[in-house]
Amino acid sequence: MAECQAQNKAKLISDVRRRFEAEYVTDKSDKYDLRDVERLQHDDNWVESYLCWRHNVVDETLKMLDESFQWRKEMSVNDLTEASIPRWLLEIGGIYLHGYDKEGNKLFWIRVKYHIKDQKTIMDKKKLIAFWLERYAKRENGKPVTVMFDLSETGINSIDMDFVRFIINCFKVYYPKYLSKMVIFDMPWIMNAAFKIVKSWLGPEAVSLLKFTSKNDVQDYVSVEYLPLHMGGTDPFKYSYPPLVDDDFQTPLCENGPIASEDEASSKEDIESDGKETLETIPNEEQTALLKKVNINEPTFKAEENEKVDSKMKAFKKPLSVFKGPLLHISPAEELYFGSTESEEKKALITLTNVTKNIVAFKVRTTAPEKYRVKPSNSSCDPGASVDIVVSPHGGLTVSAQDRFLIMAAEMEQSSGTGPAELTQFWKEVPRNKVMEHRLRCHIVESIKPTTLTLKHHAFNMSDKTSEELYLQLNRLLESNRKLEDQVQHCIWFQQWLLSLTVVSLAFVISLFYLLYS
């Protein structure tokens, strides 16, 4: 059955390509960007996304491709860069990618209060939407996003139906299958009529993707760690530019270039990050042992060096946030916490947990391979097991908030070996669409901030009991701080309300006396 479905799908994809080339491209090639036409002939996932959205009806798919390709050329989508967008639009923070919903889909934030209807700037705003979606599509190739329409503090001046219709068309025509859901938060009653129109634009198939929420139920779709304070969440994120805020899709350059590809940097990074410190002085057998995973169910390790690493890792407290991917749960979810620049040795911990029934191979890449040591950087994780990865700056180099780490993971066959040679061959052969990717950015913790997430040298000497007590105290302190902030906000609100009531009452009394004596 599965084989038959695959054959039917391949036939449909082939029909779309053949007919689009014959009926649309011939004598009309100037309508499209040739890069899109070429991509259509090679990217099965792209063709399939259009087919699925049109229920595998080839004629409808061709019309959709024609409209989409013309739009891509008009907007110069393939050439959109950061420099194409006015700086003030990037600085205002009205549109950006940040965080994940409960299903692991990226959140695409649209802060409507920052949008003022203006025909002079509408094209630039449309380009900004296209810029982010194209940036995301090139990285994730089919993985959907959840659109967060934040309507809090929105007034009548922000209602722009042309702009809303453009966003709807992006997901209906230009980026099919990329919409997981559209969460509408805190919609004012004045916009009820407007969103009835939006429903008609979406069509019956996509109306179910609209989720109208308030502060009480938005957590049904997004956990508190990725919700801002005004939505009842705990995310301390504050938008700023530059750089682009979305850590998942930045490729900042270093002396050795951007994030290395799978094959280009395997030998260099594995040797530099895993071999300089300890592997030079021990036999080959123990070198292999050091690359093995740290299984939480295994009490001992074969090599003495592994025992030392394990004892150090026990002193590290697990980060508080978790990214729940289809193959691995990764903690922390977004940021690696390092000590302040004044501190001495700084280390950070990444914990990977295999949530599948098969062995998962993983490797870690970085935008600054000359700056960091990662142990292990290329290994595997058994079903249900966890692996702790230690990241440390090399040679006293300074941690930068611009540095990024890329974690790649893919399922292995049960019969596959997990030695260095087998892993190298596995990564050469695994299809790109089978690889899970997750990116982390670096965060420097100042000395006045909580430091239980900072892996300093003295942490290795702390007992498990002491570390656990500090960890619990920190959690209690953070929770108390959060409650105190809520109380302060309530007090401020009450004072403002009381002041307003006093002013109104005073005005009423003065008016009353004036009427009585006049």
Dihedral, 94, 99, 102, 104 alpha carbons, nearest 10: 120
What is the tens place of the pLDDT at every residue in 181-209?
Answer: 889 898 877 677 666 777 677 666 667 78
* pLDDT at res. 502: 92
With a cut of 50, say whether residue 262 has pLDDT above it: no
Cα separation of the two ends of the chain: 92
With a cut of 80, say whether residue 505 has pLDDT above it: yes
pLDDT band at 254 (very low <50, low <70, confident <90, very high): very low
Task: Note whether 416 and 424 are within 8 A (CB).
Answer: no
Q: Which of 321, 397, 323 is nearest to 355 (CA)?
A: 323
More confident site: 429 or 252:
429
Q: What is the DSSP letter of 440?
A: E
pLDDT band at 264 (very low <50, low <70, confident <90, very high): very low
* pLDDT at res. 400: 73
pTM value is: 0.52
* pLDDT at res. 462: 45
Once rounded to an integer, what is the mean pLDDT over residues 319-344?
76
Task: Note whether 418 and 361 are within 8 A (CB).
Answer: yes
Q: Which of 116, 145, 129, 138 is nearest to 90 (CA)?
A: 129
Distance CA 206, CA 218 (A): 19
pLDDT band at 339 (very low <50, low <70, confident <90, very high): low
Q: Give CA separation, 115 vs 77, 119, 160, in Å.
A: 22, 12, 8
* pLDDT at res. 474: 57
With a cut of 50, say whether residue 516 has pLDDT above it: yes
Q: Which of 107, 108, 121, 206 is nearest to 163 (CA)?
A: 121
Name the CA radius of gyration of the chain, rounded: 27
With a cut of 70, say whether residue 478 has pLDDT above it: no
Q: Give CA separation, 366 vs 127, 259, 357, 408, 477, in Å.
A: 30, 6, 28, 11, 33
* pLDDT at res. 449: 42
* pLDDT at res. 203: 67
Q: Which of 160, 161, 182 is nearest to 171 (CA)?
A: 182
- Could you tell me whether strands 378-381 and 455-456 are parallel, antiparallel, or unpaired per DSSP bridges? unpaired
With a cut of 80, say whether residue 106 has pLDDT above it: yes
Q: Give CA separation, 435 vs 141, 363, 376, 406, 409, in Å.
A: 11, 11, 19, 12, 6
User: 242 in helix, strand or coil?
Assistant: coil
Q: Where are the alpha helices (DSSP H) in 141-186?
A: 161-169
Distance CA 260, CA 270 (A): 12
Distance CA 173, CA 141 (A): 16
* pLDDT at res. 465: 52
For the chain, what is the mean pLDDT? 75
User: CA torsion sign, 115 to 120 to 122 to 126?
Assistant: negative
pLDDT band at 279 (very low <50, low <70, confident <90, very high): very low
With a cut of 90, say whether residue 365 has pLDDT above it: no
With a cut of 60, say whether residue 340 has pLDDT above it: no
Q: Which helix (H) or strand (E) holds 336?
A: strand 335-338
Once rounded to an integer, what is the mean pLDDT over residues 470-479?
60
With a cut of 60, say whether residue 128 has pLDDT above it: yes
Task: Note whether 350 and 391 are within 8 A (CB).
Answer: yes
Distance CA 274, CA 373 (A): 7
- Could you tell me whether strands 145-150 and 179-185 are parallel, antiparallel, or unpaired per DSSP bridges? parallel
* pLDDT at res. 476: 66
Q: How far is CA 182 from the centre of its chain?
A: 17
Task: Note whether 161 and 195 are within 8 A (CB).
Answer: no
Say which range, 268-277, 349-358, 469-478, has the weakest mean pLDDT: 268-277
User: 352 in helix, strand or coil?
Assistant: strand
* pLDDT at res. 153: 83
* pLDDT at res. 131: 92
What is the tens place of the pLDDT at every residue in 396-436?
Answer: 677 776 677 889 899 988 777 788 888 888 888 888 778 88
Once rounded to an integer, what is the mean pLDDT over residues 38-44?
88
Q: What is the DSSP letter of 180?
A: E
Beta bridge partners of 214: none
Beta bridge partners of 361: 380, 410
More confident site: 389 or 302:
389
Q: How far is CA 30 from the centre of its chain?
A: 36
Distance CA 99, CA 229 (A): 14
User: 108 in helix, strand or coil?
Assistant: strand
DSSP strands (E only) in 203-253? 210-213
Distance CA 336, CA 364 (A): 13
